[in-house]
């Protein structure tokens, strides 16, 4: 059973592909790392998966998953930290699926929110405005929200960027906990050591897929070199694409 099925999918902006002809499946319950240089299309792929970017070509199928059953951890640069909202209120937005536009947040839900904040180690921070948090604390807040979303597919966009080792260890433990609970986790990462040690499956992406499969087989110097080279510059006058190239997972 696949949680995600890519059918020769091309994602991009303004007709320029950022992810080019990707095909393959992600099995239910797998823990997948997506690696590749800056501009390789990692974030774009994740946006395609959570449904906020429509494919230019091909399609992404959620095997049996509701599109609302996906939790996404964005890069924190995309959040307006100056907005006057408390940690508690921010995390509580993770209950959107249950509460929606008007649903109340009762005693049970409040407890759930407090527990989520507690389990990322932010007890006592409930009333702090998010603008006063450090980068690592903000990342913990984002993880707490994902925790509340209770989704079967979790998509993490560079969750450990600029985060110290203690926070990384704490949050990585959460990721592995999600994996142990049978959730499918997909994470865009840069730390190859971490990928090697903790992620069973890896997709090396460089606009097109370079390699995909068990981490030990995929994470070779050759593949990484290819990935570096494939990430060529944006070509304003690129011709329309006619090729139908696919790379299947090993």
Q: Which residues bind other proteins (CB under 8 A)?
A: 14, 47, 50-52, 68, 70-72, 74, 78-80, 83-86, 90, 93, 96-97, 100-102, 129-132, 145, 149
- At 131, give phi and psi (nearest 5°): -65, -15
CB closer to other proteins out of 65 and 96: 96
CB of 178 to other proteins, least distance (A): 17
Provide the 3-class DSSP secondary structure of residue 213: strand
CB of 142 to other proteins, least distance (A): 9
Cβ neighbours of residue 244 closer than 8 Å, sequence gap 6 or more: 8, 21
CB of 79 to other proteins, least distance (A): 5
CB closer to other proteins out of 102 and 222: 102
Check: CB of residue 155 under 8 Å from CB of residue 186: yes
CB of 132 to other proteins, least distance (A): 8
CB of 40 to other proteins, least distance (A): 19
Strand order from edge to edge, sheet including 208-214: 70-73, 153-157, 184-188, 31-35, 201-206, 208-214
CB closer to other proteins out of 154 and 218: 154
CB closer to other proteins out of 34 and 146: 146
**Rounded-to-integer distance, Cα 131 and Cα 213, Å:** 40
CB of 202 to other proteins, least distance (A): 24
Beta-carbon count within 10 A of 9 CB: 24
CB-facing half-sphere around the CA of 8: CA atoms within 13 A: 8
Tell which residue, 68, 1, 47, has the closest CA to residue 186.
47
CB closer to other proteins out of 68 and 177: 68
Tokens representing residue 130 in the block: 């998010």
Provide the 3-class DSSP secondary structure of residue 189: coil
CB closer to other proteins out of 70 and 231: 70
Provide the 3-class DSSP secondary structure of residue 8: strand
């Amino acid at each position: 059973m696949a949680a995600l099925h890519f059918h020769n999918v091309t994602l991009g902006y303004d007709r320029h592909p950022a992810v080019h002809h990707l095909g393959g499946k992600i099995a239910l319950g797998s823990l997948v790392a997506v690696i590749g240089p800056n501009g390789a299309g990692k974030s774009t792929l994740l946006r395609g998966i959570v449904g906020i970017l429509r494919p230019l070509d091909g399609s992404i199928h959620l095997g049996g998953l509701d599109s609302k059953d996906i939790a996404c951890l964005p890069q924190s640069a995309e959040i307006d930290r100056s907005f006057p909202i408390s940690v508690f209120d921010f995390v509580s937005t993770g209950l959107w699926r249950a509460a929606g536009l008007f649903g109340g947040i009762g005693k049970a839900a409040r407890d759930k929110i407090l527990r989520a904040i507690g389990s990322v180690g932010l007890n006592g921070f409930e009333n702090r405005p998010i603008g006063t948090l450090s980068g690592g604390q903000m990342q913990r807040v984002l993880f707490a929200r994902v925790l509340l979303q209770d989704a079967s597919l979790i998509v993490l966009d560079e969750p450990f960027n600029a985060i110290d080792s203690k926070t990384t260890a704490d949050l990585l433990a959460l990721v592995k906990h999600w994996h142990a609970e049978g959730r499918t986790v997909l994470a865009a990462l840069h730390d190859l050591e971490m990928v090697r040690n903790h992620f069973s499956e890896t997709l090396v992406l460089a606009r097109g897929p370079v390699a995909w499969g068990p981490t030990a087989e995929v994470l070779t110097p050759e593949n990484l070199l290819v990935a570096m080279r494939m990430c060529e510059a944006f070509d304003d006058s690129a011709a329309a694409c006619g090729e139908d190239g696919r790379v299947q997972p090993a």
